[in-house]
Amino acid sequence: MELKSFRGVVANPGRYIGKIKIVDSVEDIERVKEGDIVVTTNNSPLFSLAFIKASAIISERGGSLCHLAIVSREMNKPCILGVEGISSKLKEGMLVEVDATNNKVTILENE
């Protein structure tokens, strides 16, 4: 089986393997548990509680100076931004590796 991977902009290096939690709205934040990988299209400060609970973060938007990039560095969490269309390519519960040292998000297991 060929592993599918994606690239973006590294906001903070690091590596983490975990399950995906899609966060599209403020209501989704309460579903995020410690150890989840948050995937979002929104880098708003309103989503900060989800970012605090997450062990890694992937976003469709943003660059090295956006709010989420700064937050991920402050919290020292692996973070890759600007991964176009990632929220439609990843599904809730998938096992994914975020290798923000090498700028790669890899799907390890579909749920």
Question: Does 67 qualify as catalytic in the annotation?
Answer: yes
Q: How many domains does the chain have?
A: 1
- Domain hosting 26: range is 5-109
Matching residue, tokens 């983490």? 16
User: pLDDT tens digits for the chain (111 residues)?
Assistant: 456 899 999 999 999 999 999 999 999 999 999 999 999 988 788 888 999 999 999 999 988 888 899 999 999 999 999 999 998 899 999 999 999 999 999 999 876
Matching residue, tokens 């090498």? 102
The secondary element (H helix, E strand) that includes residue 49 is: helix 48-53
Q: Which two tokens stand for residue 1?
A: 């089986």
Q: Which of the following is catalytic: 19, 67, 89, 104?
A: 67
What is the CATH number for 10?
A: 3.50.30.10
The identity of residue 26, as a single letter, is: V
